[in-house]
Amino acid sequence: MSPQDLLLGAVSIPSVSGSESEVAQFLVKAMRELGFSSAELDASGNAVGSRGKGLMQVVLLGHIDTVPGDIAVKLEDGKLYGRGSVDAKGSFCTFVAAVSRLSSAALERATFTCIGAVEEEIPSSKGANFAVLRYRPDFVLIGEPSGWDAITLGYKGRLVVKVAVEKDNFHSAGEGRSSGDLLVDFVSQARVCAERWNATQSEKGIFFQVQLTVQNLETQSDGLTQRAQATLGLRLPPALGPLEAELFLREVGAGLEGLSLEFVGQEVPYRGEKDNTLTRALRLAIRAQGGNPRFKLKTGTSDMNVVAKHWTVPMVAYGPGDSSLDHTPFEHLELAEFEQAVAVLTEALERLVGR
């Protein structure tokens, strides 16, 4: 099976979060055909394959689920269109193809485990949470689109807060403030405090700033009680974890009548080092393919946020594709870039284990 056949086959199988079993079975079969010494579905539904017998452990974790949205799968002008082509089946297929090409010398020195994780696109992160308990890697690659010549060092953290304000109803012509007024006050105060916090940071750029957005907002009344509800999403920089952000929001809401806060979706921010054995191997491999290596820091989240607090080893995210196409109706991956990424990663893994 060629790398392009692997990619086309994976993208052609729908796999919205929670419905990944068919694509996982396809990938297990493909890994067996490509010479992996073991390939199976684990208890969480991940597609897992291993090659090599060395003591060094290299884990390549990419997700195989997608967000909803049917995009007709087609090859056109050297591009593969389809949901998941960029985010992130393209990256996981890069992992599988690269590991399938490794030399016998590399396989003597290390064991390479490719994990096609389920439910990354929803808060459960089921596949990654299962994997962190089973493996103790020396190096980790996360499958996310960086572009073939770029290396992602980190992702911002996340916190979601569900805000509710409830109070007795009153006539709108009378004195008093509605539940909606009070909710808007809370959001405004939270935004002002976030901006003040941002102003204190010496490092500039959006990766180092708190981003606060209102994801939904509604009010209702049954004639007796008013209720206003909102969901706020916070993207958190390395200097502010979700627990600290929770305290900050509780302080903002202290004393507001009828306010309740529920916190979900906590993800710890992560930023890795620029210069270590793993990044050096990737930089040299990118240059060997004619590229000029670049580093990226991303404002979203990935399974890197889930595993970083457990796997405190050199870790980066890598994969072909333009991440601005993630979740869009135009998602597509250039096949030439996919092949370049496979070549880069093969070279990098050989260098990493000391060919």
d(CA 25, CA 34): 14
pLDDT for the residue 347: 97
Choose one of 267, 291, 309: the last residue of a domain: 267
Choose one of 248, 267, 286: the last residue of a domain: 267
pLDDT for the residue 170: 63
pLDDT for the residue 169: 67
Domain total in the chain: 2
pLDDT for the residue 31: 98
d(CA 109, CA 226): 66
Catalytic residues: 65, 120
CATH number of the domain residue 117 falls in: 3.40.630.10
Residues 308, 223, single domain; the answer is no
Strands of 225-236's sheet in order across: 211-221, 225-236, 157-168, 259-267
Q: Which of 75, 114, 109, 119 is nearest to 94 (CA)?
A: 114
d(CA 102, CA 60): 14
Give the Cα-Cα-Cα angle 236, 240, 244 (nearest 5 degrees): 110
pLDDT for the residue 166: 83
pLDDT for the residue 355: 58
Question: Containing domain of residue 16, as a range?
Answer: 3-155+269-352
Instruction: Report which residue type is found at 135.
Output: Y
pLDDT digits 0-9 by tens, 343-352: 999 999 999 9
Residues 131, 38, single domain; the answer is yes
Residues 89, 228, single domain; the answer is no
Is residue 219 classed as helix, strand or coil in its secondary structure?
A: strand
pLDDT for the residue 312: 94
pLDDT for the residue 29: 97
CATH number of the domain residue 260 falls in: 3.30.70.360
pLDDT for the residue 79: 96
pLDDT for the residue 253: 86
Choose one of 232, 267, 302: the last residue of a domain: 267
pLDDT for the residue 265: 83
Residues 21, 97, single domain; the answer is yes
| Cis peptide upstream of residue 245 (ω within 30 degrees of 0) | no
In which residue ranges of the chain is pLDDT below 70? 169-176, 222-223, 355
